[in-house]
Amino acid sequence: MISVLLADDQTLVRVGFRSILEGQPGIAVAGEAGDGADAVRQCGALRPDVVLMDVRMPDLDGIEATRRLAADPAHAGLKVIILTTYELDEYIYGALRAGASGFLLKDIDPAELIRAVRVVAQGDALVAPSVTRRLIAELAGRVDPQAAAPALDALTVREREVLTLVADGLSNTEIAARLFVTPTTAKTYVSRIMQKLAARDRAQLVIIAYEAGIVTPRRLLR
């Protein structure tokens, strides 16, 4: 059962998402939070698998709440999906770097919301990868060019190739087809890369690949 916490300062938004998710096989809404601080507290008490986290909330915004959750070893398996009204919200890049697994627009179709929760809970793919790639490219200039790139020496040549494909937004199945291997083998490569780079999920692999210079805005937007 996938346990979901809804964090948004607008009651109607929470009610809408609850109505969509409740009753879905394998999904349960564990609770609701009206601000980031409450979301952090409730994650400690309820231990949800996924948090739908609004960006702009009083007391503590969604980015800082995500950062605190990601930094807490007690929430190592928690997945955060950032919610935004705007496709290119200036705060989302920071949210992904803070540990979010992806982001969604609030006007997402119900079926896509349900799918996103399932996908992120499994850690198998980014939410809306094409939008995420476009966002990262758009906000690339905001990254500190002096920041140290992650050490990738531990990766083999093949693993670097797989990392590039992950950053391009390919699923395990698509990576398998590109490299002429089985989906299981592709998944194993991705899991091994995540372990070596201490990445929480595929969203973090995209960030690492970009900041290490393996991919560029031009490549991400192709």
46 CB-side CA count, 13 A: 22
In the prediction, which pLDDT does 145 show?
Answer: 46
- Output the tens digit of pLDDT for each of the chain's 222 residues: 999 999 999 999 999 999 999 989 999 999 999 999 999 999 999 999 999 999 889 889 999 999 999 889 999 889 999 888 766 556 666 777 788 887 788 888 899 899 889 988 887 655 455 555 565 565 555 555 445 455 688 899 999 999 999 887 788 889 999 999 999 999 999 999 999 988 877 877 877 887 777 766 544 444
Tokens of 123: 């850690």
Q: Which two tokens stand for residue 171?
A: 């699923």
Asked if 50 contacts 4 with a C-beta cutoff of 8 angstroms, the reply is yes
Asked if 127 and 93 count as a contact pair (C-beta separation under 8 A), the reply is no
Residue pair 211/150 in contact (Cβ under 8 Å)? The answer is yes
pLDDT at 31: 97
The whole-number pLDDT of residue 132 equals: 56
pLDDT at residue 149, as a whole number: 54
